[in-house]
Amino acid sequence: MRIVIGQGSCGIAAGAEKVRKALLNTGIDPALISITGCIGMCYLEPIVDIYDDSDNLTRLVKVSEADAEAIKSYVENGDSAAIEKLIVSDEDSEFLNKQTRIALRNCGIINPEKIEAYIEKGGYTALKSCLTEKTPEDVIEIIKTSGLAGRGGAGFPTWFKWNAARQSAGDDKYLICNADEGDPGAFMDRAVIESDPHNLIEGMLIGAYAIGAKHAVVYVRAEYPLAIKRLTNAIKQAKEQGIIGENIFGTDFSCDFMIKAGAGAFVCGEETALIESLEGHRGMPRLKPPFPAQSGFWRKPSNINNVETFANVAWIVNNGGEAFAAMGTEGSKGTKVFAVTGKVKRSGLVEIPMGKTLRDVIFDIGGGMKTDKPFKAVQMGGPSGGCIPASLIDTVIDYKALGATGAIMGSGGMVVMDESTCMVGMAKFFLDFTAKESCGKCIHCRIGTKRMLEMLDRITKGEGKEGDIELLEELCYSIKDGALCGLGQTAPNPVLTTIKYFRDEYEAHINEKKCPAGECSDLIEYSIDADACRGCTLCARNCPVEAISGSVKQPHVINTDKCIKCGKCYSVCKFGAVKKA
């Protein structure tokens, strides 16, 4: 019998460490209890997996400290009734059953703090076969056959970047992993490092061998302390076993590893800005050419891929490039990991073959809207992406099809929205992020995003005027054409797509001074229907500024001069008496 507790950041935040300590306090043999990373079912954390002697799994979800004795009763006495209410439902089990996992294949399965657990799953066999049986050119050819594209957002062919760095002159080369992951709502890379750090190390070592690099660097955001801790531990273990360092597996290949904790600047998603930060400078993009493959870190030939890209490499080597290429579409091969968040019932990490549709992810795997309000849109690709409306829910997930909608694949953020979401407000939210994250190097991005944000702010406050929409569009295209790097070039996407698909909402804000979604507080007015009000006083008792008056069992009234439009009265009223207009 084994008890495995999910301890990714999401699990720990939900109370998984408290559950572990509670189980130890029951007197259960500590040798039976171990940890794992995030399996992706973030909405069900904390998760406790119990394996019997035949390795059959019983999964318990939303476990609390109070459930420790019940779990002990099941483990020691076989009392299944004690844990019946905790067992994952068949419906929730479909969340994982409908996925195809390659990059996430070990996440939530193995102990991320023990190299032995990774080796038992076939870890480092791909690296060994590359070093002892294949030339660097053979490895690049395997990656070329697989069709693996960079999973950081741009979707550039991985083999091409590797080959460019391979062919660059010089013996001192660097392989760099971008683990900065700056998109709001995205946590794919963090989960991989926390849950399967050796998979990242193996993929990077294979990449280093392919390009001829002696140095591997992981640039990870400092806000990921658990990821840094587990990756540091994994590097130490790999060094102890001779997998990192000199003459790996008795060959001529040597490679060292370094972790750089970055300050979390979104612009460092652009590879030359990341290199500047690595060198100790402010993260600002360089002019290209030269490209990093010719002149990168310390002006040496360098290659940069993100975590998810490297997480596929060992599997591809072990199973063949053809096996990876067999999944997906003609122009987008393999699987893709998405962080599904927002108004969806089952939020978490989803890995599916390219070629599935947005409907497959949001409704089939994600379970649809958790509010039971109609689906309205999904923001793909984070602040650099765009909003895809409900009318395009059957859009195929690949680089070309998503690009045709005005959105992008991005690193894999997927924010789901229902009818209560204001699309003008959503565009403002993402533009506020990119305006603040602009490095300021080029005028189009530094000033242009600021001017656009000011306009959106006016519109959401009811101060929009005729011609604002057209001016917004003009600014968007000017910024896209004039910005130096991908941050500025893609920053207008949320605005352009919301105007394209939800222009009527912009017009309502400007012409009618109304927010159709009822989300922009400056355009909302609350009132109480005297006929529906029962005088229960619940609204008055919950008003933070005492703007509601009235006697018990008598109709209440809102003082609109004092009302701060927080919506508390609207949410607590049980009789539908509070109206929002």
Output the domain CATH number for residue 499.
Answer: 1.20.1440.230
Query: Same domain for 120 and 257?
Result: yes
Calculate Rg over the CA atoms of the chain. 26
For residues 533 and 501, membership in a common domain is answered with: no
**pLDDT higher than 80, residue 154:** no
Task: Give me the pLDDT at residue 406, please.
Answer: 93
Instruction: Judge if 490 and 574 occupy the same domain.
Output: no
| Claim to verify: residue 134 and residue 8 sit in the same structural domain | no
Question: Which residue's structure tokens are 């395009």?
Answer: 392
The answer to whether position 104 is within a domain reads no
Same domain, 163 and 296: yes
Q: How confident is the model at residue 410 (pLDDT cuts 50, 70, 90)?
A: confident
- pLDDT confidence bin for 581, thresholds 50/70/90: confident
Note whether 229 and 368 are same-domain residues: no
pLDDT at 196 over 90: yes
- pLDDT at residue 264, as a whole number: 75
* Residue 514 banded pLDDT, cuts 50, 70, 90: very high
Is 106 inside any structural domain?
no
Closest CA to 182 of 107, 87, 267: 267
Q: How far is CA 375 from CA 246, 326, 371, 488, in A?
A: 55, 32, 10, 29
Percentage of residues of the chain with pLDDT beyond 70? 100
- Confidence at residue 329, expressed as pLDDT on a 0 to 100 scale: 94
What total of structural domains would you count in the chain? 5
What pLDDT, on the 0 to 100 scale, is given for residue 444?
A: 94
Q: Do residue 446 and residue 305 come from a single domain?
A: no
pLDDT above 80: residue 153:
no
Q: How confident is the model over 483-488, as a mean pLDDT?
A: 92
Distances from the Cα of 77 to the Cα of 63, 84, 451, angstroms: 19, 14, 67
In a shared domain, residues 209 and 290: yes
The predicted pLDDT at position 162 comes to: 98
Q: What is the pLDDT of residues 59-116, one digit of tens each?
A: 999 999 999 999 999 999 999 999 999 999 999 999 999 999 999 999 999 999 999 9
Predicted confidence band of residue 375 (pLDDT cuts 50, 70, 90): very high
Give pLDDT, residue 183.
83
What CATH code is carried by the domain that includes residue 372? 3.10.20.600
Judge if 563 and 438 occupy the same domain: no
- The CA distance from 19 to 439, in Å, is 43
The pLDDT value given to residue 35? 98
Statement to judge: residues 530 and 495 lie in one domain: no
pLDDT computed for residue 215 by the predictor: 98
Residue 503 confidence class, pLDDT cut points 50, 70, 90: very high
Do 316 and 341 belong together in one domain?
no
Q: What's the mean pLDDT when you consider all of the chain? A: 95
pLDDT of residue 111: 98
Is residue 105 included in any domain, yes or no?
Answer: no
φ, ψ at 379 (rounded to 5°): -90, 115
Domain identity same for 196 and 231: yes
Q: What is the pLDDT of residue 66?
A: 96
Q: Pick from 325, 355, 376: which residue ends a domain?
A: 325
pLDDT in tens, 416-459: 999 999 999 999 999 999 999 999 999 999 999 999 999 999 99
In tens, the pLDDT along 260-277 reads: 999 878 999 899 999 999
Asked whether the predicted pLDDT for residue 155 surpasses 90, the reply is no
**Span 171-184, mean pLDDT?**
92
CB atoms within 10 A of CB 432: 15
Give the CATH number for residue 232. Answer: 3.40.50.11540
